[in-house]
Amino acid sequence: MTIQLGQIAPDFEENSTHGVLRFHDWLGSSWGVLFSHPKNFTPVCTTELGEVAKLRPEWDKRNVKPIGLSVDPVEAHRRWESDIEETQGAKLYFPMIADPDARVSTLYDMIHPESDPTVTVRSVFVIDPSRKVRLILTYPPSTGRNFAEILRAIDSLQLTDARSIATPVNWKPGEPVVISPKLSNEEASRLFPQGYKTLKPYLRVVDLEEAAQ
């Protein structure tokens, strides 16, 4: 199946390094980042998993639970965890799903059509607490993911869920945002009493930080 933004993330029950888990139950009231790896004991994935572990304070601050997946069995995951800790200086605290029958990989359309059928692409799914898929990224097997960008995107999603705004190109937390075109000027003035700049009728920029000062 093809996963679409806004749909409910498919639920599954599968074995992992933290035991058997049911995905939706494991998520609880948290955001989730489900990310796949082509297979165990690969160099780029080793660096990625170490980075995700190092970023634990950032995930926790945003109420995000990361969870990895590889088509190899749990025993191989545990051996790989030791390598990751040794080479990356970070101990994995989050589960790694074992998907030897590629059931979850197929469910989430992680198998590259022109590659080895046992090799998943580097997929990332950001899922909100209502279980909806909010962001999908797919990298080729040779390209390591940018988890700083994934964190930035989550910051944008969480901020824009709470306010009638959107974040512009290359936005970073603390920078000006754009006001939703759905808001009239009167509504915008009421919601953003600090004032905003109108560049075009459809392009109004506001600094949220000014209101907080």
Mean pLDDT over 155-175 rounds to 96
pLDDT in tens, 188-211: 999 999 999 999 999 999 999 765
Is 136 an active-site residue? no
Mean pLDDT over 116-121 rounds to 58
pLDDT at 142: 81
Which amino acid is present at 162? Answer: A
For the chain, the domains span 13-145, 163-212
Identify the band that residue 49 occupies on the pLDDT scale cut at 50, 70 and 90: very high
pLDDT at 72: 87
pLDDT at 115: 59
Q: Which token pair is 2?
A: 């093809």
Q: Which token pair is 38?
A: 């082509």
Give the HSE-up count for residue 123: Cα atoms under 13 Å, Cβ half-sphere.
Answer: 23
State the Cα–Cα distance between residues 59 and 66, nearest whole angstrom.
8
Identify the band that residue 18 occupies on the pLDDT scale cut at 50, 70 and 90: very high
Mean pLDDT over 72-85 rounds to 92
Measured in degrees and rounded to the nearest 5, phi and psi for residue 180 equal: -60, 135
pLDDT at 158: 97
Which residue, among 87, 89, 42, has the nearest Cα to 68 in the 3D structure?
42
Query: DSSP 3-state assignment of 66?
Result: strand
pLDDT at 36: 87
pLDDT at 208: 92
pLDDT at 132: 98
Q: Does domain 163-212 have CATH number 3.30.1020.10?
A: yes
Measured in degrees and rounded to the nearest 5, phi and psi for residue 127 equal: -125, 135
State the Cα–Cα distance between residues 38 and 95, nearest whole angstrom.
16
Among 45, 69, 124, 151, which one carries the catalytic annotation?
45
Residue 24, H or E segment: helix 23-27
DSSP state of 49: H
For β-strands 31-37 and 122-127, DSSP reports them as antiparallel
pLDDT at 113: 62
pLDDT in tens, 36-46: 877 777 888 99
Task: Give the dihedral of Cα atoms 31, 5, 145, 108; nearest 10 deg.
Answer: 90
Which amino acid is present at 45? Answer: C
Q: Does domain 13-145 have CATH number 3.40.30.10?
A: yes
Instruction: Give 97's strand partners.
Output: 16, 69
DSSP state of 8: B
